[in-house]
């Protein structure tokens, strides 16, 4: 996400002829988009995306369990 925002800001600054960015070649301005594609490729190949999704699901599951225990008046288990 960071690379996309950086790329969009670069394009806007280049389009508006902002002083330092206006003189840069287009390949430098568009490079963050290529880096974003590489990041997504690496995240999918390495399992990073799936790991983060599983962590999020576990947190939601534990929050649901804690909410049900609290509703039944049971003490939450200690971590």
Q: Is the dihedral of CA 27, 30, 34, 39 positive or negative?
A: positive
pLDDT of residue 79 exceeding 80: no
Query: Domain count of the chain?
Result: 2
According to the model, what pLDDT value does residue 24 have? 93
Q: What is the mean pLDDT of residues 49-75?
A: 90
Q: Does 19 lie in the same domain as 54?
A: no
Q: Does 37 lie in the same domain as 3?
A: yes
Provide the domain limits for residue 12: 1-46
Q: Does 52 lie in the same domain as 39?
A: no
According to the model, what pLDDT value does residue 74 have? 77
* Proportion of the chain above pLDDT 90, given as a percent: 68
Is residue 33 within 8 A of residue 5, CB to CB? The reply is: no
Q: Does 70 lie in the same domain as 52?
A: yes
Q: Does 1 lie in the same domain as 38?
A: yes
Q: Does 24 lie in the same domain as 58?
A: no
Q: Does 35 lie in the same domain as 66?
A: no
Integer Rg of the chain from CA: 22
């Amino acid at each position: 996400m960071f690379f996309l925002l950086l790329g969009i800001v670069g394009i806007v600054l280049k389009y508006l002829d902002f002083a330092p960015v206006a003189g840069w070649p287009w390949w430098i301005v568009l490079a963050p988009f290529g880096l974003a594609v590489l990041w997504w490729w690496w995240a999918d190949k390495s399992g990073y995306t799936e790991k983060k999704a599983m962590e999020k699901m576990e947190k939601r599951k534990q929050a649901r369990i804690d909410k049900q225990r609290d509703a039944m008046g049971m003490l939450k288990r200690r971590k």
